[in-house]
């Protein structure tokens, strides 16, 4: 068990859910949250723990070596979430993605090495593997084939993290997850965008014909998996995390419309994304067999809970949409 862990990007969607999960499960664990507070980092996500004596927030950039080294003096392990993560933004401008996702990870790795970090868990994505056809699933043995600047930056970091294990014997683990959903997700991603648009009386934008397929993972299932991999995963290994829930974008769209009392008239078909991967699916049998993890959430139940959360937290997402109105308005 680690005494103090550094969580990078802890004010983001998955990072904030992870911190809340860990503080609840391990009351004696100390957590340092390093976050730059970019557009998708929201300090209000962690308002419920801001006065917890075992929680400390540090605002800063993972690309700043001096700051990162100072932070590492007080921690003995790391869970690294911090990343630019939206594919559409990476297509428009890839610079910040390479800077944060690759160079930022390199700064963290160097600091971890310098301070004899006991575990470095890098949280990655299934998008590094590219796209699947009608059959098959991604696994830890799948060859890398990133198709967007975002996924290329994450793939680069995967390789960089692995290289520090092979070259320097830094105790690392990597996890590659499928699409997450749940509370606190920035409303540019598919599920929260569609929910919040409908709450505002706006149509939902569907790429192409909505035929693209994704595997959906509830963020709390993901947090539980990260916890297991971080504490019990084999050093130097990669673990794939999936939700066992493949769905076409159109099927999800219609499920959201149905749950919120709307019909197909609220669908707006838009030009397909450049390089849009057709299908993702994950074989998480390694994680299941080695560590006993399986997803708990039924997708429809998780979606209902997510819709309820956004209905009950309108001030949270309306502020974000207002502050990023140029992006959300096209």
What positions carry a catalytic annotation? Answer: 126-127, 150
- Tokens standing for residue 145: 């084939």
Contact 250, 186 (CB under 8 A): no
The Cα 232–Cα 253 span in angstroms is 37
Contact 166, 229 (CB under 8 A): no
290 Cβ contact partners less than 8 Å away, ≥ 6 residues apart: 233, 234, 239
* Dihedral sign computed on CA atoms, order 271, 275, 281, 286: negative
Q: Where are the alpha helices (DSSP H) in the chain?
A: 13-25, 65-72, 87-92, 95-98, 104-114, 149-168, 190-199, 219-232, 249-259, 285-291, 299-312, 314-323, 325-328
Q: DSSP for 271-297, please give it.
A: PPPTT---B--B--HHHHHHH------
From 99, 89, 94, 120, select the one nearest 8 (Cα to Cα): 120
């Amino acid at each position: 068990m680690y005494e103090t862990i550094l969580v990078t990007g802890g004010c983001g969607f998955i990072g904030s859910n992870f911190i809340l999960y860990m503080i609840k499960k391990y009351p004696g664990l100390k957590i340092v949250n390093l976050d730059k507070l970019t557009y998708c980092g929201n300090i209000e996500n962690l308002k419920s723990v801001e006065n917890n004596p075992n929680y400390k927030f540090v605002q800063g950039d993972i690309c700043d070596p001096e700051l990162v080294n100072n932070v590492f003096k007080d921690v003995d392990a790391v869970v690294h979430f911090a990343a630019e993560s939206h594919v559409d933004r990476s297509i428009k401008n890839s610079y910040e993605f390479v800077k944060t996702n690759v160079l930022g990870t390199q700064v963290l790795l160097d600091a971890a090495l310098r301070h004899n970090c006991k575990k470095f868990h890098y949280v990655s994505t299934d998008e590094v593997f590219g796209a699947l056809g009608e059959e098959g699933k991604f696994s830890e043995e799948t060859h890398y084939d990133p198709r967007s600047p975002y996924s290329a930056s994450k793939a680069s970091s995967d390789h960089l993290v692995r290289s520090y294990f092979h070259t320097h014997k830094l105790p690392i683990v990597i996890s590659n997850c499928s699409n997450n959903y749940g509370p606190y997700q920035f409303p540019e991603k598919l599920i929260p965008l569609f929910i919040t648009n409908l709450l505002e009386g706006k149509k939902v934008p569907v790429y192409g014909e909505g035929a693209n397929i994704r595997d959906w993972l509830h963020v709390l299932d993901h947090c539980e998996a990260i916890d297991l991999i971080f504490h019990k995963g084999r050093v130097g290994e990669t673990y794939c995390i999936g939700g066992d829930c493949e769905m076409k974008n159109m099927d999800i769209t219609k499920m959201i419309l149905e749950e919120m009392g709307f019909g197909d008239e609220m669908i707006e078909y838009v030009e397909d994304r450049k390089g849009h991967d057709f299908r993702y699916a994950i074989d998480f049998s390694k994680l299941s067999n080695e560590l006993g993890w399986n997803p708990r959430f039924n997708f429809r139940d998780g979606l209902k809970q997510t819709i309820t959360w956004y209905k009950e937290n309108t001030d949270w997402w309306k502020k974000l949409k207002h502050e990023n109105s140029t992006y959300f308005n096209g």
